[in-house]
Structure 1
Amino acid sequence: MATSSTTTNMTRMELTRLKNRLKTARRGHKLLKDKRDELMKQFLDIVRLNKELRTRVEESLMTAHASFTVASALMSPNMMEQALLYPKQSVTLDVSYCNIMSVNVPIYEFKTRSDDPGEIYPYGFAMTSGELDTAVAALSHVFQDMLKLAEVEKTTQLLAEEIEKTRRRVSALEYVMIPNMTEKIRYISMKLEENERGNITRLMKVKDMILKEAHGYQE
């Protein structure tokens, strides 16, 4: 590192200031590394949950799709459309937030207008296929998992972004700021020691000159 007196103050006050900054930087580096490691642990747990939920949702949707396919084969398009045209049940979605290592992640909750499980069927059973009932029930059951999957995937994204930001900060401290401050401290210490040796040499010369002029004596 090329450091010169034009860019760095060669004073003990500057040396003390840099040492304090270095101590703070090292403490911050440790805290950020701990945060990064904990974020990674949380992230891996969420990724595992995400994989489980996605598998479950895909399987449930495939079951519902198969049932709808069979129902479509057994019922006319007009009958299918009339059966599903006017739903009885309605849903409201609430969003709140949870803090994970300074990251606000969403929590999705839904509430149905009615607690009656029969409200998911917007039609009478006389003119419809049992496969349509199976398909509607399957979609109703998978809805909660789909909502949880959306929550988990958003959490995964937010944690990944925070991990990357924390990683960059750790790298900046570890490979740029701390080495630069360490080098500046070394440079200033070296210059102060040189100045101190030079001052001692000058003082000795001044002493010799004073002794010689005053007493005609030289050590």
Structure 2
Amino acid sequence: MARLNVKPTRMELSNLKSRLVLSTRGHKLLKDKQDELMRQFISLIRENNVLRDEVEKELTQAMQSFVVAKSLLNEAFIEELFAVPSTAVALDIQEKNIMSVVVPQMNFSIVAEGEKSSDLQYGYLNSNSELDDSISSIEEILPKLLKLTEIEKTCQLLADEIEKTRRRVNALEYNMIPQLEETIRYIQMKLEENERSGIVRMMKVKDMGGSK
């Protein structure tokens, strides 16, 4: 491990020891942060997997009902039915802090367009149960879709922060702290050598003075 390019003085030794204390403390704090981020990330990934399976299963069932309904109805009616939306989704995005990571917290509400009802308007004679089931299923899936979006975005942000924290932890653990320790050992060794050399010189001067 290459040591830092500093002069081997007691002042530098004191400064390096202070930096080592701070680096060691910072390493511990970052390691604790990394561990907590990983814990929360794993928990969210598990929640995400469960929710995604549910959403995919329900979407598949809803689309199957829609395909059956479409095959039994006039295509022009289907196009007219979905040409103009009868509702809109009002999305309110708040923020929350997870270990200094700002993540979104989504809340939504269904808003009717103009004077229209929040339900699609169509005649029963032109529809069938499969169409009713598919529309109802998709409306029920919407909250889960938004929740899934929130969780996946949170996982992405946490993953980025975990990677940044990991790099900082590794930089301290495998670079900065070993360099400081190696430099401290080097300066201590040089100071001890200088001290021994000084003692030897003093002894020689004393011997020379006594022999006169």
The change in CA–CA distance for 1:202 and 1:182 in structure 2 (over 3 A counts) is same
CA-CA distance at 1:19 after TM superposition: 0.5
Q: Deviations over 1:186-207 (max 9, x none)?
A: 0000000000111111122222
Equivalent position of 1:198 in the other structure: 197
Name the SS for the 1:21 alignment partner: helix
Q: Does 1:23 align with 2:21?
A: yes
Letter in 2 for 1:38: E
Q: Deviations over 1:135-174 (max 9, x none)?
A: 1111100011111111111111111111111111111111
CA positional deviation for 1:69: 1.1
Q: Does 1:188 align with 2:187?
A: yes
Residue matched to 2:133: 134
Kept in 2, the 8 Å contact 1:107–1:151? The answer is yes
Aligned-residue CA RMSD in angstroms? 1.7
Q: Could you list the runs of 5+ residues in structure 1 that have no partner in the other structure?
A: none
Question: Would you say the 8 A contact 2:27–2:169 is kept in 1?
Answer: yes
The structural deviation recorded for 1:121 is 1.9
How far the C-alpha of 1:124 sits from its partner, in A, is 3.3
Deviation by residue 1:114-145 (Cα, 9 ceiling, x = unmatched): 5xxx6232323342222211111111000111
* Correspondence for 1:71: 69
Give the match's secondary structure for 1:119: coil
User: Judging changes above 3 Å, is the alpha-carbon distance between structure 1 residues 2 and 84 closer, same or farther for their aligned structure 2 residues?
Assistant: closer
In structure 2, how many angstroms separate the alpha carbons of the residues matched to 1:3 and 1:125?
82
* AA in 2 matched with 1:21: R
Matched residue, 2:120? 121
Distance (whole Å) between structure 2 residues aligned to residue 48 and residue 92 of structure 1: 28
Give the drift of 1:2. 5.7
SS at match of 1:104: strand
Identical aligned pairs, as a percentage? 50
Check the 8 A contact 1:11/1:188 in 2, yes or no.
yes
- The answer (yes or no) to whether the contact 2:91–2:107 under 8 Å persists in 1 is yes
| Higher RCO, Cα 8 Å, sep 6+ | 2
Alignment partner of 2:101 out of 100, 103, 127: 103
Distance 2:54 2:119 in 1: 21
Q: Which one-letter code corresponds to 2:26 in the other structure?
A: G
CA contact (8 A) 1:120 1:140 kept: no
What's 2:165 paired with?
166
3-state DSSP class of the match of 2:124?
Answer: coil
TM-score scaled by structure 2? 0.92
* 1:87/1:120 contact within 8 Å kept: no
2:111, 2:118 within 8 Å by CA — same for their partners in 1? Answer: no
Partner AA of 1:206 in structure 2: V
After superposing the two structures, state which structure 1 stretch, 8-17 or 78-87, moved more: 78-87
The amino acid across from 1:154 in the alignment is K
Q: How many residues align?
A: 208
Alignment match, 2:153: 154
The reply on whether 1:47 has 2:56 as its aligned counterpart is no
Corresponding residue of 1:210: 209
Q: Which moved more, 1:17-26 or 1:101-110?
A: 101-110
* Unmatched segments (≥5 aa) in structure 2: none
| Aligned partners of 2:110 and 2:118 also within 8 Å | no
Q: CA deviation at 1:209?
A: 3.1
SS at match of 2:87: coil
